[in-house]
Amino acid sequence: MQAAVETRQAGQESTLKRKLAAYLALTKPRVIELLLVVTAPTMILAQNGLPSLWLLIATLIGGAMSAGSAGAFNCYIDRDIDRLMKRTQGRPLVTGELSDREALVFAYGLGAASIVWLGVFTNWLAAALSLGAILLYVVFYSLILKRRTAQNIVWGGVAGCMPVLIGWAAVTGDLSWPPIILFLIIFLWTPPHYWPLSMKYKDDYAAAGVPMLAVVRGRAQVGLQVILYAWATVACSLLLIPIAGMGLLYSSVALVTGVWFIYETHRLYNLAIRHVNVSPMRVFHGSIAYLSLLFIAIGVDPLLPF
């Protein structure tokens, strides 16, 4: 009898763990990590030093909930194409770990909680920007752009730029030119970050009927567009030096990592036009390293005496 009870309890615990893991997967935690990486340095720059620890934590929690809500809505909206793509067949609405209703209730609840949280513990401008980010990702990108145009990731990427505005607003209560430049850096960075991924999973997107640039134009055109956006990203990152009064550390990091990022995109294009094997994931992962290093420098630079 005791053994049967223990077995049942173990089964219940296992089911609960799987359920919690499924809800976590629904939020796209890797995307959340990247968004938080840009939020904290932005807050340090806005404060020109370290903001209060509670404000920093409260903003990161609210931002994570907001991004998680948007990710959950996206999983719900894209559940049909996720079943057709190998890359996404492990998502909880595809495996059946969560029902459509559970996902939708979770998305609405987490989104509402993020807005209230930011409004109460930061300010209502940050909360309004959080709501705007969710709507941009869910309506503008997921419902309108993604299945209709090869420019989906360009304009849909606006939602991913919002955390810098939210972080700045949480500290200052307003917006100015530096957060706009940060916004533009991420906006211009998004295509050379995401389009190499679409090159690798071109067949997946084609099977799902999603008109990613790699599907409708081919890898040479993708490589050229990646180069152009990489150059624009680096140029925009250098604009932050005079506009925000950045110091030697940021200037050096922006220049060195920018040259490296541009080199990697040119390498991808050269391989593509020669019709040899390309390694688009090298640029994809490199773009993450580039943005992370850039924003680490943004966060550290204001703390230095020079």
Query: How high does pLDDT run on average in the chain?
Result: 92
What pLDDT sits at residue 150? 87
Average pLDDT, integer, range 2-28: 75
Average pLDDT, integer, range 8-13: 60
3-state secondary structure 204-225: HHHHHCCCCHHHHCCHHHHHHH
What pLDDT sits at residue 190? 95
More confident residue, 175 or 212: 175
CA dihedral 107, 110, 112, 117 (to 10 degrees): -160
Average pLDDT, integer, range 146-174: 92
What pLDDT sits at residue 279? 83
Q: How far apart are CA 114 and CA 204, in angstroms?
A: 33
Structure tokens at 302: 């204001």
Q: Residue 4: pLDDT band by 50, 70, 90 thresholds?
A: low
Q: How far apart are CA 66 and CA 36, in angstroms?
A: 11
Structure confidence by residue, pLDDT tens digits, 22-68: 999 999 998 888 888 999 999 999 999 999 999 999 999 999 999 99
What pLDDT sits at residue 13? 67
What pLDDT sits at residue 209? 87
Q: Which regions of the chain carry the CATH code 1.20.120?
A: 176-306
Structure confidence by residue, pLDDT tens digits, 61-80: 999 999 999 999 999 999 99
Structure confidence by residue, pLDDT tens digits, 200-244: 888 888 888 888 888 888 778 888 999 999 999 999 999 999 999
What top-level class would CATH report for the domain 17-173?
Answer: mainly alpha
Structure confidence by residue, pLDDT tens digits, 230-285: 999 999 999 999 999 999 999 999 999 999 999 999 999 998 888 777 788 999 99
74: CB partners within 8 A, 6+ apart: 28, 137, 138, 142
Q: Are 290 and 260 in contact (CB under 8 A)?
A: yes
* CATH for 176-306 (1.10.760, 1.20.120, 1.10.3470, 3.40.50): 1.20.120
Average pLDDT, integer, range 179-201: 94
Cα 42 to chain centroid, rounded: 15
Kindly state the percentage of the chain with pLDDT values over 70: 95
Structure tokens at 69: 């809500």
Q: How far apart are CA 196 and CA 284, in angstroms?
A: 6
Count of CA atoms in the C-beta half-sphere (13 A) of 89 = 8
Q: Which regions of the chain carry the CATH code 1.10.357.140?
A: 17-173
Distances (CA, A) of 273 to 196, 221, 268, 286: 15, 9, 9, 21
